[in-house]
Structure 1
Amino acid sequence: MSRDVSAPVPVFKLYGEGQDWLTPDLLHCETIPKRSRLYHWEIQPHRHADLCQLLYVHAGQAEIEVEGQRRLITESALQVVPPLYVHGFRFSEDIEGYVITLAAPLVSELKALLGASGEVLAAPANYPAGADRDYLNSLVSALQREYSQDAPGRDLALHSLINVLVVWVSRQMMQRSSAAQSMERGREYLNGFTRLVEAQFRQQPSVEQLAHATGISVAHLNNVCRDLAGQSALQIMHQRLLLEAKRNLIYTSMTVSQVSDSLGFTDPAYFSRFFRRLAGVSPRAFRQVASSAPSFSADH
């Protein structure tokens, strides 16, 4: 998908149709092959002045470009393309799916019905169908079927189906937003926890104490640590103790008993068992191996 960057981006009502809107309906629905086959499965970059498009890929592959950003779709997904965004598509010849085009009055109506979540139609985004693959395909197939015939209640059926489809998209956006907010809060909690660990590891506080100081439960803290750091809260605390123990054994002349005491262990024997369990060797063996290893000069 490439174009002459010095040439103006074409503005279409529907791709290849110039400025004419071909239907009295406020939406247009067709299969992806119907139009893309005419252009050898490639829709060159273009934009729509006042139309929003929902591209649903059910099977096959699609390369989607929006404002120069490309994405390869190999699984069922729905792509939102708002008005004025430059976009283009390249499809495999076995592509299955639909393109739904919404006129500005219908977009405004849907936004009003959805409230804040109506902004889902204002920004380009790709939403994998996942477990809803068959559900989405049935929904959009029904929409296309209603669109292509003139049965009683057609307008009501079309509005009902497009409402359901846009609700699905808005829910995906809200789930994504909620997950992003949860991730950001998780990072804040993890950063707060690691700062507390760094400040207090020598006193060996309990996980409960640090969880309380972080402002969350022990279970929540462990979930955050496992999700973002791949370790439990206690493992993170133990790794910080181990790191300091190794540094003391390598860079100081402290005895094992002194290292144990400096790190808040009341029993050197327990410290040695702790060290061996995490490092695989005793503190003395670790020091011997480290002292015999070749040192690196500043030139290396």
Structure 2
Amino acid sequence: MTQDFTQQIAAPGAPGGQARLVAIPRLAAAGRWRVEAMRSVSEPQLLWFTKGQGRITIAGITRGYTANNAVFIPAGVMHGFEVGPQVFGTAVFFGKDCTIPLPTTPQMLRIREVHAQQEINVILDMILREMNSDSPAHERATRHYLGLLGVWLERQATKAAPEQTKPDAAKRLVARYTALLERDFRTGAGVGEFAAALGVTPTHLSRCCRQACGRSAISLLQDRRIFEARRLLAETAMPVGEIGASLGFTSAAYFTRAFQHLTGKSPTEFRRSV
């Protein structure tokens, strides 16, 4: 992958610019679907795994992760990953108004050098300490440590660049599909329409998706739409029918069937359970 670092964290406390650190197990505390289903977030994030292993799918490409993997995901990139009971680590969210130079493409980095592992652990400890501090200039110190984290990431990505293999045609197509899907999953468009927009047949698109992540094109689409439905059911008071309509379902009954097929619960039952 090419390393392209661009100016993209507003000061902590600025509207939409609040950086934060979250223990990876806590991301799934309100339900594993919050991390395992296909979704995106509106800010750059870095996942630093310190224990355990699993699979992570980014832009339609699935890989395994283990301890000492650093995974950077730019804002708006569709992803999901397994969080088993033995998985530990830290997620860094850089904020929606991030101005720290960060990669513009996803990065999956295996950090083999003990010194580099210790370095990121120290930086994360200092960020957390300053975030929780009431000392003078603690917000400025937080920004500087976040900047150091960006430098660490850039150096590790540059070091890993010669070992990175260029994505093949199938993976490039799937990455384009997931970007288009992330943009238009609310429109009600089906796989056929997405495939036509990409200039390929639905069969070819689904074949490439299976090669890249072991899932069909329709599975990725359904997972993304139903994640959004679950999020809206859990976090808003929108009526069930309005949620279905906002996600392109042609009727409340169709939405309920699709939701129940994927989750095992009706939308109303799911809302009551969260």
Q: What TM-score do the two structures reach when normalised by structure 1?
A: 0.45
Greater Rg, structure 1 or structure 2? 1
Whichever structure has more helix as a proportion of its residues is 1
Q: What TM-score do the two structures reach when normalised by structure 2?
A: 0.49
